[in-house]
Amino acid sequence: MNKEIISNKSAISLIVLFIFGSSLILPTATDAGSDLWISILLAIVFTIPIFLIYSRILSLYPNKDLFDILIIVFGKWIGKFLCLLFSWFAFHLGVLVLRNFGSFIITVSFPETPMIVPMIFLGLLGVWVVKEGIEVLGRWSWIFFIFNAPAPTLVTLLLIPKMDFNNILPLFYNGSKAILKGTFSAFSFPFGEVVILTMIFFCLSNRKSSYKVFLSGLFIGGIPLAGISLVEILVLGPDLYKASYFPNHSVATKIGLGDFLQRLEILVLIAAVTGGFVKISVCLMACSNGIAKVFNLKDYRSVIFPMGLLMINFSYLIYDNVMEQIAWADEIWPYYAFLFQAILPIIVFIIAEIRKSSKIKSGRNSDE
């Protein structure tokens, strides 16, 4: 496993598609109303120090992932307990994303198809690509990124006639409290979820790659996401945006140039599903890697298939309906996820720095 190497461009594309993942289909920062695009931009700013912490943790221990670092920093028992917690978080996020896409595909495209069918296809495709390793997943992510990159610009240009700038006026209409609440929500979904990538980035090309990879992925993925959300508000208005389960698709259905260019929502559907496929695969790889470290298995590939099947089963059973799914995402997820996205990484960072500095000092004293 440790012989795998992933290039910076592949790692960046993984982060970008991971950020796009569910955020291309679900509403983001709805608490901010018409100012949600401002909340997303603020969330990018507040995410920078967190991403620097992720990068620093990985750079302190080259060729190690977060699970290895937890065991090194906290010791065998506490470290493995924390590995189990982070493995659960990766598994749970994968379950939620798989269910989100099952609901999305059934709602917008195949209403007569049982929801379990698209989830089985996405889950088994994830099992296949994760078994091939992170290098293959990274190359696929780069291909998907190149294919999806022109879509936001094309969709925005085609939607200009449908935009109403009165939908975002007056600015700061809901007040700073709503904007800050939206910022917190946007951090937890989708930016803070990138902590999952620290669980598989054991194979970056060099020690300093993590800084470039995380920050580049944040800006390349975050700024277009803010632009897409702004377009959605301009076209739908804040009330319809908040009422829509899948606002991006609702906006895409309005694209049309007379009788010549119609049904371009397929572009949005393809971009969303490819991003979701990458996100599900990353979560599956991360939780499998964590389980392998907890139980001292030689290779994470040995548990990918059972973890994939568990993910599919849990995703089918976790919600009763779409309304329950959206309520969880809005009311519970930000506070639940913040523990794994910020609080625990900050604790790991502080203790890792202390351990590293004390080790360096002891080494100098022994040399003297």
pLDDT, position 259: 59
pLDDT, position 330: 85
Q: Which residues of the chain have pLDDT under 70?
A: 1-3, 207, 256-264, 360-368
pLDDT, position 268: 80
**For residue range 47-106, what is the model confidence (pLDDT) as tens digits?**
999 999 999 999 999 889 999 999 999 999 999 999 999 999 999 999 999 999 999 989
Q: In Å, how far are 21, 56, 306 from 93, measured between CA atoms?
A: 12, 24, 17
Residue that has been written with the tokens 């028992």 in this structure = 77
* Cβ burial 203-225 (10 Å sphere, 16+ → b, else e): bbeeeebbbbbbbbbbebbbebb
**For residue range 137-154, what is the model confidence (pLDDT) as tens digits?**
999 999 999 988 888 788
pLDDT, position 240: 87
β-pair partners for 257: 261
In the chain, pLDDT over 90 holds for what percent of residues? 63
Measured distance CA(14)–CA(139) in Å, rounded: 9
Q: Where are the alpha helices (DSSP H) in the chain?
A: 8-23, 36-60, 66-74, 76-108, 116-132, 134-148, 150-159, 175-188, 209-236, 238-243, 247-252, 265-294, 304-317, 322-331, 333-338, 344-367
pLDDT, position 1: 45
Measured distance CA(111)–CA(115) in Å, rounded: 9
pLDDT, position 19: 95
Domain annotation for the chain: domains and CATH numbers: 8-367 (1.20.1740.10)
By residue count, the chain amounts to: 368
pLDDT, position 138: 93
